[in-house]
Structure 1
Amino acid sequence: MRYHGHIPAVAFLSQFRAAPNLLTLLRLFIIPYLVIEILAGHYLAAFALFLLAGLSDGLDGLLARWLEQRTTLGLYLDPIADKLLLSTLFLTLTHVGLIPQYVTVLVFSRDFGILLIATLLFATGTLRDFHPSFLGKTNTFIQIVGLTVILAERVLAPHWPALHHLDYPRRALLDAIALLAPVSAAQYAWIVIRRISAPAQPANPA
């Protein structure tokens, strides 16, 4: 369902009651507690909260389709919640020494650059639909897998000390994240430039 024009404040606020948006708000609510548990070294609780956030992310999309509750609020709130969750985890895990600083710098530089370009294009009316590219989706997927592996490793390591010496998957994932961040940003910029530079399509005759 598409929404055009100005949405009355009451109607907009009523969208918070939609089940998918409530799940998205739950994901936002989880973030500070996730940070608290990581800083306290309670990785089992942190891992459980991360899985709960991932479950809510999958369910809100399904509910939006099943209940036909796709809203303007959800259109913006869902990706914001996802990005806040991932970005906060990268910052927190970097702070506790589990993710190298250069990886987080590259991730944040990519996200900031894309956000800046998208904001400028949207504000000027140049381009209003932003679909993630294949590399962008791959980048996000690898980030999620990498964060899952890091947290799972901290949960399992006390029970299997040998895991401390088997950190190749974690390092490979972090290297992939560091590589995909600038590459996917470059692809996004190239797609935007090509779409802006494309000649306008002539209107079909009546």
Structure 2
Amino acid sequence: MNLANRITLARIFLVPVIMFFLLVNLDLPPIRIEQFSITYNQIVAALIFIVAASTDSLDGYIARKHKLITNLGKLLDPLADKLLVTAVLVSLVDMGKLDAWIAIVIISREFAVTGLRSICAAEGIVLAASKLGKWKTAAQITAIIALLINNFPFTFLNVPFDLIASWIAAIITIYSGIDYFAKNWHVIQFDN
């Protein structure tokens, strides 16, 4: 197994670790600064999430630079991305930090675009990631990090950045999903 695929597998193995720190109460006192409060669990989960999310670019870079692109990597990389984001979104809903509808919109778009990619692949068409898709990923990661760290440092400014980032992520997610389908509508055949 090459280095790029090992990095991708590491991202997959970090998913349950992140969920553990988000969902298991270690019964440690939270850190409090004025109106801001955060648990050690959240800090650890956020740091692991940041490391895991950053490996997405790293494994792709290594695979392209060293010509290590494999079918296993093509399968594992999008799977790792979806597992990471989905697990954290579901955990954030469970923790009461994210509205369920936003998580459902994001997860539904991922399923829909994955289905579209499968149809395109069956037709011999490679559906590459678009610029909007990359913006979508950046917006989702930004929103997740803001939610994981309880809106730090924006809490001190009374700016609901985590909420704003969540809405922006949802809007870009919807828009990028529509864009994928609009540009590839010709591939979908409807029988009368």
Structure 1 runs, 4 residues or longer, greater than 6 Å off: none
2:72 paired residue number: 73
Cα separation, 2, equivalents of 1:190 and 1:88: 28
SS in 1 for 2:98: coil
Pair 1:99–1:39, CA change in 2 (3 A): same
Number of aligned pairs? 174
Output the TM-score relative to the length of structure 2: 0.80
- Alignment RMSD (CA, Å): 2.3
Normalised to the residue count of structure 1, the TM-score between the two structures is 0.75
For residues 55 and 134 of structure 1, what CA distance do their matches in structure 2 show? 18
5 Å-filtered alignment, 1:131-142, equals: 131-142=128-139
Alignment of 1:1-206 (within 5 A): 17-40=1-24, 42-122=41-121, 125-153=122-150, 163=155, 166-194=158-186
Q: Which one-letter code corresponds to 1:90 in the other structure? A: L
Change (3 A) 1:83 1:194: same
In 1: Cα distance, 2:120 partner to 2:67 partner: 30
Partner of 2:34: none
Indicate the larger mover: 18-27 or 180-189: 180-189
- AA aligned to 1:192 is N
1:204 maps to what in 2? none
Gaps in structure 2 of 5+ consecutive residues: 26-40
Aligned equivalents of 2:60, 2:129: Cα separation in 1: 16
Identity fraction in percent: 25
